């Protein structure tokens, strides 16, 4: 039973990372990097991807940590 729980937790973790990375990518595209970067257009695209990964990973880690903390609160009540 414990292995199945770990598998489900791994799937939730992967889905949340992908979801928040895609959400960050969508939001960061609203920033006009081409105006700031000028002739470095390919570097601006790579910057958007890397910022999306960093921001999405950070936000997903926050929410996963929050969910874990809430789950651990049940041990306080038992």
Average pLDDT across the chain, whole number: 91
What's residue 38's pLDDT?
82
Q: Note if the pTM is more than 0.95.
A: no
pLDDT band at 27, cuts 50/70/90? very high
> Exposed (0-12), middle (13-18) or buried (19+): which is 58, by Cβ within 10 Å?
exposed
Give me the DSSP letters along 12-68.
HHHHHHHHHHHHHHHHHTTS-HHHHHTT-HHHHHHHHHHHHHHHHHHHHHHHHHHHH
Cα separation of 76 and 78, whole Å? 6
Are the CB atoms for 28 and 54 separated by under 8 Å? no
What is the rounded average pLDDT of the residues 62-73? 93
């Amino acid at each position: 039973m414990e292995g199945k729980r770990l598998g489900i937790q791994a799937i939730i973790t992967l889905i949340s990372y992908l979801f928040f990375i895609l959400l960050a990518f969508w939001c960061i595209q609203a920033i006009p990097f081409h105006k700031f970067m000028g002739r470095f257009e390919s570097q601006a695209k790579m910057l958007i991807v890397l910022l999306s990964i960093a921001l999405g990973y950070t936000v997903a880690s926050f929410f996963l940590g929050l969910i874990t903390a809430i789950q651990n609160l049940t041990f306080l009540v038992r």
